[in-house]
Structure 1
Amino acid sequence: MDLDAYAAVHRPEWDRLRALVRRRRLSGDEADDLVRLYQVTATHLSTVRSTAPDPVLISELSELLSRGRTRIAGSHEPAWRDLRRFVAVSLPAALYRVRWWSWAVIAASLLVAVVSGVWVSTTPGGLDVVGPVSVQQDYVDRAFAEYYDPGTDFALTVWTNNAWIAAQCVALGITGLWPAYVLFTNAVNLGVVGGLMSSYGELDVFFALILPHGLLELTAVFVAGAAGLKLFWALVEPGHRTRARAVAEEGRALFTVAIGLAGALAVSGVIEGYVTGSGLAWWLKILVGVVAAAAFWAYVIVLGRRAVAQGETGDLERDLAGDTVAVRG
């Protein structure tokens, strides 16, 4: 094939395609022409590659087709726009939709913790679950406070551990059993430690070292468990959606929650690493924890309510999530 002659014959079509790609607005006829020329040029590129693979012409046509494809299919928004939308819309919407589950989990977990703590501190032999008296005394006098060693390494360790707990609730949420087990175990352990400290007259130390970071940290763990249970419930009771669609939508929103909670746990890790074990006054440390938890819920309620009112769910945007079959009801 005479490549020069082939290019000379079809050059007007390529130039026309290039001109259409550059235009900001297209009429209906021009849009149809754009699609037709894109298909024709794709055929030309295939012909050149198979009969006279000239690298310069192949590169030119490939670049032209790439721009044409972008114009026809549309380009994705810049990454910074996606990040802004995630933080201001998708994440608060996902957290807001799971708020009732979260509050129910928080209430149930606190009840379990209180019952466990009261049982340990008031039941004869209850403290034996912790260990011998020597172990109990050492934990109260030294180990509990020394655990909160200020520093970056400690903050990273705490964040990794808590993120792993939240990740388990997310990854295994569809089972229903694992999030419930994690939440129950976490609540019992918290109650047992509180009951032990109370029995030795150190309940004030317990709250002074738990509340600064624990208000946000435990909230994040509770929300992760709640989101996992909500996914399980979508499998059990999908509502008007098909079961596959319900699980897919709630699953994608669940991972939105997981990413957001990783950020919340990072903040609580910083507080635990630099505030909880610091020499600040106890009331100031607790105030930091209250402000952090209040900021989290303000973010969820204010931005989340607005996003949900606009139809957001925390799921991917429609062009990324894919189309779904309409259902009746």
Structure 2
Amino acid sequence: MTVRIGMIGPGGMGQAHLDRIRTVIAGAEITGVSDIAPDNVRTVCEKYGVRGFDSSAELIASPDVDAVMICSYGPAHEADVIACIEAGKPVFCEKPLTPDAAGSLRIMEAEQKAGRRLVTVGFMRRFDRSYSEMKAILDSGEVGETLVIHNRHRNPGVPERYTWDMAINDTGIHEIDTMRWLTGEEIVRVRVDKPKKTTRRFEHLQDPLILIMETTSGIWMDDEIFVNNQHSYDIQCEAVAELGTIRLSDQHAVERTGVLGRHNVLTMDHNQRFGGAFVTEVQQWISAVACGEHTGSTSWDGYAAACVCDAGVRALESDTWVPVEMIDKPDFYA
């Protein structure tokens, strides 16, 4: 079976997925796109030879669309995800599922009413080989209990439209989900520390900042979020356990030695660093859709991450610990 996919919001991320589906991913084809920008729809249709829809509603309802990928702006996700659920079509939604927990809660309610898991959230780090190996070691118990986890999320730069809260709900959300998945625990409270600001930032930003998180068993996690480091896309993680320490290996494939010394090429964006994870993630989703199954992150994962983000944004304003407020996990997502 070839899964016919409709894509909503084929911007940079959407077109990267489209390229993967056309070149290295099996079992699917993009049959149509929609976007709030008509010019972008025309450009994508001409580039890829796909059909353009006048609206996301028209795309979701089309008999030529079996499943939907949503790569649009976060605030637009909720209505389209719920429309996919009501149409009975599997939907892959890039993070965040919604910008706040209330929207994700409404999506969960719609999905439970439908009686079937249809929503997969695009948390690609769960499919990264190095993170997966780290999780396997921690889950095995060979290094004892996990005590502390250090994270670093550094970008070379961000555009001026990057707002002050996006450090938490657009950048830090990756570590928030990864830490929930890595430890198998929920995050119960958060704090934001504010070090000296870089001069290489827009005035409205606190950059860098340190997001501190604590889990149900007391694991302490920090996340340095630095989005204007000027040199590379640099992702680091180190788990400190009772009997050992596990960290991600250096993030380059080739090291050169010569008259200029020893050096390596740095990754500059998420597609370079997590290209393999994106392929694995989308391939698994497509294979699951073809079999009528669900794989990957659920609406609950999107909701839980949003709850932590909500608390993190409040902590950014209040300079104190903020509790994470969540409902009990429904049996539907157990």
TM over 0.5: no
TM range (shorter): under 0.3
| Structure that is richer in helix per residue | 1
Whichever of the two has the greater Rg, that structure is: 1
| Structure that is richer in strand per residue | 2
Higher relative CO (Cα under 8 Å, sequence separation at least 6) belongs to 1
